[in-house]
Chain A
Amino acid sequence: MMAVATEQPAADLREPAGWRRTKNRVATVLMWVAFVCTLVPLGFVLVTVIAKGASAISWQFLTKGPIPPNVLPVTIGGMGPAVVGTLEITGFAALIAIPLGVLGAVYINEYGGNRALARLIGFMADVMTGVPSIVMGLFIFTIWVLHFGYSGLAGSFALGCLMLPVVIRSSYEMLRLVPDSLREASYAVGATKARVTVTVVLPAAIGGIVSGALLAIARAAGETAPLLFTILVVESTNTNLFSGPNTALATQIFINAQQPFTGAQQRAWGAALTLIAIAFILMLAARIVTARFTRYTR
């Protein structure tokens, strides 16, 4: 007993032993294991790409062209055409898919209600998410390339088709999270449905919508299969998105990595690192922009 004389025994506030504590510990360990399991491969990929690709990176590599024949060392020419191609093709794909996707999500969540059309669009978007990217490439090949030839635009269509369902789904989930009380508050001062959507619902959801759109862009920028069928491959920069074959980092990685020559392989690693860096910069930029939009959410 302690110095303070008490008639009652001291309260035991330790965590009770037994099955409950065991379960808690097992679950905690499992979560840590899962965390490490997901992080380790990611870390390996990053370290490997940086280790193997960093030596190839130079201002010349990033901006100059043409892309040299496979046998030449990495110091000659550069990946400039592929960087330009990736930016213009993915950029235009985003320009098609993001407005369409966000508007589609707005229709499903704000206007569609329980209507059959809204449910059909939602269902089709989910089905589209599951379509393999190579099938999407073949689809654009059949309906566009066979009639109008290879072009960056065809690549944008293919990538846009891949992004669209992702943008619809992620935007829809974000719009669904906007509480009805905010919509009611807007209606209660005499807003029309369109006003409610534009001035309250979309601003409240913009952070999540941008995040979803970015993930879609980053994924599309790395797609190779759909581009093989739609843009072909060229060695020099083609700034005209709308006509003539084009090239992109992803397809260049695919082609160069298959070669036995060290120069080509280094070019592939360098292109891979460039692609990752572009995605990273994009994410960072978008985070900064959305932070401005969402500064009032807390």
Chain B
Amino acid sequence: MEQSEQNVAAKTELPKPTALEQAAPQDVSGTPGRPIFDVRNVSVWYSAFKAVTDVSMTIHENEITAFIGSSGSGKTTVLRAFNRMNDLVPGARVEGEMHYRGTPLYGKDVSPIAVRRRIGMVFQKPNPFPKSIYDNVAYGPRINGERNRRKLDEIVERSLRRAALWDEVKNRLKSSGLALSGGQAQRLCIARTIAVEPDVVLMDEPASALDPIATGAIEDLMRELKKQYTIIIVTHNMQQATRVSDRTAFFSVLTDSKNDTRTGVLIEYGSTRQIFEDPQDSRTQAYVTGRMG
């Protein structure tokens, strides 16, 4: 009796209902996963342009962490810092500390190749290789030295099954990966990413080019994948963040009118429920209620 009363009391304390309320955010499970990334005071520069300033956050194992925020707020830049994709951009550099399972990601003897082998990435636009469906999925295992035909067959089937694509393509594994529809192509890219058994999957707006049905398929897939992987997703779609993520980080643009510079900052980071129902910062509240951005 007493307990149920407490629950009622807790419920009434919730802030005013918002339009997003219907999409009930998942709560963070009682025991949070172990920390996997520790980000301390990270700033990312593109030559003389400071794209993101002073980001600090902890990412947890087997959770989906969503990065939301308006364009130019540095979500993607931070995401690409996690597997050193920014290294490929001439003039890009990262300041601050970024630890992955206790190892500094930008340490002296850290190989970006080894980093990306463990921290895979799915991109905004589906980008299958102009190769067969089979070769697309087998690509990662092959470049990492797997030559055994039987093992490759197994990996391809397992990855395509996990990416919920197997039934649709099992009879045409030899046809071009480019012949798939947008949603299928994106699932193929996810299969390609998980074929190397990464530890973390970074997703940069993986559903922004897809229709609602394909988006739903990708989201189901993410919920399934988080049992085995840690997922960080950048999204413009707030409903998507509430639907799939355990934690949410809200980024915004800070404009310095004096010398006309803009830079991305992390405004607020917490459980998805807290960010959407009880935002502590007025800018977060304005964004999640749709009054800004």
The chain A residues found within 8 Å of chain B, CB to CB, are: 113-114, 179, 181-192, 195, 199-200, 203-204, 294-298
Contacts of A187 in B (CB 8 A): 85, 88, 116
Q: Determine the residue in chain A with the shortest Cβ distance to B116.
A: A190
- Bitwise interface map of B from 111 to 129 toward A, beta carbon under 8 Å scored 1, else 0: 0011011101101010111
Interface residues of B, count at CB 8 A: 34
- Bitwise interface map of B from 211 to 242 toward A, beta carbon under 8 Å scored 1, else 0: 00000000000000000000000000000000
Structural contact, A297 and B176, CB atoms closer than 8 A = yes
Q: Is B207 an interface residue (CB 8 A)?
A: no
Q: Is B164 an interface residue (CB 8 A)?
A: no
Contacts of B130 in A (CB 8 A): 182, 203-204, 294, 296-297
- Across the interface, B129 reaches (CB within 8 A) one of A200, A294, A295, namely A200
Q: Is B178 an interface residue (CB 8 A)?
A: yes
**A188-B83, A199-B143 are known contacts; what are 6 more A-B pairs with Cβ within 8 Å?**
A114-B90, A181-B125, A182-B130, A184-B123, A296-B131, A297-B178
In the bound complex, what is the Cα–Cα distance between A298 and B131 (angstroms)? 9
| CB of B191, distance to nearest CB on chain A (Å) | 11
A296 in contact with B176 given A114-B90, A192-B113 (CB within 8 Å): yes
| CB of A118, distance to nearest CB on chain B (Å) | 13
A190 in contact with B178 given A184-B85, A184-B123, A185-B129 (CB within 8 Å): no
A186 in contact with B120 given A113-B90, A191-B113, A296-B132 (CB within 8 Å): no
In the bound complex, what is the Cα–Cα distance between A181 and B123 (angstroms)? 8
Structural contact, B176 and A298, CB atoms closer than 8 A = yes
- Across the interface, B192 reaches (CB within 8 A) one of A181, A183, A185, namely A185
| CB of B280, distance to nearest CB on chain A (Å) | 34
- Across the interface, B114 reaches (CB within 8 A) one of A182, A190, A199, A297, namely A190
Nearest first, the 9 A-B pairs at minimum CB distance are: A190-B117, A189-B140, A181-B127, A188-B121, A296-B176, A297-B130, A190-B116, A185-B127, A296-B130
A189 in contact with B193 given A113-B90, A184-B85, A296-B178 (CB within 8 Å): yes
Q: Determine the residue in chain B with the shortest Cβ distance to A200.
A: B129
The chain B residues found within 8 Å of chain A, CB to CB, are: 83, 85, 88, 90, 113-114, 116-118, 120-121, 123, 125, 127-132, 135, 139-140, 142-144, 176-179, 189, 192-193, 195-196
In the bound complex, what is the Cα–Cα distance between A192 and B143 (angstroms)? 9
Contacts of B176 in A (CB 8 A): 295-298
Contacts of A295 in B (CB 8 A): 176
Structural contact, A189 and B132, CB atoms closer than 8 A = no
A203 in contact with B116 given A188-B83, A297-B178 (CB within 8 Å): no
Structural contact, B85 and A188, CB atoms closer than 8 A = yes
Structural contact, B192 and A189, CB atoms closer than 8 A = yes
Contacts of A200 in B (CB 8 A): 129
In the bound complex, what is the Cα–Cα distance between A295 and B131 (angstroms)? 8
| CB of A262, distance to nearest CB on chain B (Å) | 55
Contacts of A298 in B (CB 8 A): 176, 178-179
Structural contact, A190 and B129, CB atoms closer than 8 A = no
In the bound complex, what is the Cα–Cα distance between A181 and B140 (angstroms)? 16
Contacts of A185 in B (CB 8 A): 123, 127-129, 189, 192
Structural contact, B178 and A189, CB atoms closer than 8 A = no
- Across the interface, A186 reaches (CB within 8 A) one of B114, B117, B139, B179, namely B139
In the bound complex, what is the Cα–Cα distance between A295 and B116 (angstroms)? 29
Structural contact, B113 and A188, CB atoms closer than 8 A = no
Structural contact, B127 and A190, CB atoms closer than 8 A = no
In the bound complex, what is the Cα–Cα distance between A185 and B140 (angstroms)? 10
In the bound complex, what is the Cα–Cα distance between A80 and B61 (angstroms)? 74
Contacts of A199 in B (CB 8 A): 139, 142-143
Contacts of A114 in B (CB 8 A): 90
Structural contact, A189 and B114, CB atoms closer than 8 A = no
Structural contact, A190 and B144, CB atoms closer than 8 A = yes
| CB of A238, distance to nearest CB on chain B (Å) | 44
Structural contact, A189 and B139, CB atoms closer than 8 A = yes
A-B contact pairs, 20 of them (CB 8 A): A182-B130, A184-B85, A184-B123, A185-B192, A186-B139, A186-B143, A187-B116, A188-B85, A188-B116, A188-B123, A189-B140, A189-B195, A190-B118, A195-B143, A199-B143, A203-B131, A294-B130, A297-B130, A297-B176, A297-B178
| CB of A114, distance to nearest CB on chain B (Å) | 7
In the bound complex, what is the Cα–Cα distance between A209 and B183 (angstroms)? 32
Contacts of A294 in B (CB 8 A): 130
Contacts of B132 in A (CB 8 A): 296
Q: Determine the residue in chain A with the shortest Cβ distance to B192.
A: A189
Q: Determine the residue in chain A with the shortest Cβ distance to B142.
A: A199
Looking at A184, A192, A203, the one whose CB has the most chain B CB atoms below 10 A away is A184
